[in-house]
Amino acid sequence: MIKLQITENDDRQRLDRFLRKYFKNAPLSRIYKMIRKDVKLNGKRAGEDTMLCAGDELTVYISEEEAESLCRSRRPAGVKKQFRIAYEDENIIVVEKPFGLLVHGDEREKKNTLANQVVDYLIEKGDYVPRRERTFVPSPVNRLDRNTTGLVLFGKNSRTLQSLNRMMREKGYVEKYYLTIVSGRLQKPLTLSDYLTKDHDKNIVKVWRDKDPSGNEGKAIETIARPVAWAKGFTLVEVELVTGRTHQIRAHMQKAGYPVIGDEKYGDPAVNARIRREYGLSTQFLHAYRLAFSSALPPLEYLAGKTVTAPLTDFMETIRAGIFQGDFDEMMNRTGIDRR
């Protein structure tokens, strides 16, 4: 038999989910057979939906050899750090994701991801020690497309990660702002409220003013776009992402008649060709530049009122300056947009 002590980072997990993470190589049938026959919680049988608490003791009546085979994993070699740190404390880290880097792996790239780079950084720093953890790994709570740059927020411990996920999911906690350049002259702020459906095979989304007439209800989306400056048939826009759906900003702005420049999926092909010739931009101009914490759940109350920002990348700033004359900060200040 083996004994497992439930730590703070394992706290408040269902028994079956804990075991699935701990015995990562075990099929589901083996996990539920363990729960029925081979597991005791604090000396007693427990159901699959039992919530674990820090300090609990699990006794698993399997051999050490089987346990080792069901737990065994080979961590890939470390990957080169490509991100910059915008803010870090004992609970969270906010990093600036560069162009071309996935947040999580996909079928083509599993190793060199932002999530792996951040974990490697925290291991090297001593903030995360894998051999001490049974099921927890520092993880991001927001995602950006491969070619969208900017801020990604990570939780460094389990309690923080649970709070951050709720804060991102519910209104009133974290405001998410992006910078983009769109085709056309947006003269006044837009509040866009529609529905979004996704074609998973083609990895594209469609925005509907009303629910999809085909019967697929889709998901409600809300986007607020505020113009910052106009020039040469383009508008520099600050976008507040009220809901967070796949390709939401890109598809919503296209539906409103202001496609994001460089966007191969939702943009204007003629405009994109011009932008590519003049500036070398071949993908969407979209940057997650500001996170504002209006309020925060424990243990993050100290973040209330805090704002984290990330400047445009050098390449993006060159494009912005080429289209819109003038200093960026002065331009933003003239709009009266509160950027605290």
Give catalytic residue positions: 145
- Whats the size of the chain, residue-wise? 340
d(CA 119, CA 84) in angstroms, rounded, equals 14
Q: For residues 217, 225, 285 and 196, what is the CA-based torsion angle, rounded to 10 degrees?
A: 0
d(CA 138, CA 116) in angstroms, rounded, equals 9
d(CA 321, CA 325) in angstroms, rounded, equals 6
Distances (CA, A) of 60 to 34, 70, 132, 321, 326: 8, 13, 19, 62, 66
d(CA 280, CA 307) in angstroms, rounded, equals 32
In three-state form (DSSP H/G/I as H, E/B as E, the rest C), the secondary structure along 9-61 is: HHCCCEHHHHHHHHCCCCCHHHHHHHHHHHEEECCECCCCCCECCCCCEEEEC
Q: Which of 135, 17, 128, 137 is nearest to 71 (CA)?
A: 135
Amino acid at 225: A
**E strand or H helix that includes residue 249:** helix 248-255
Residues contacting residue 100 through CB under 8 Å, at least 6 positions apart:
146, 147
What order do you get walking across the sheet with 39-41 strand by strand?
2-5, 57-60, 39-41
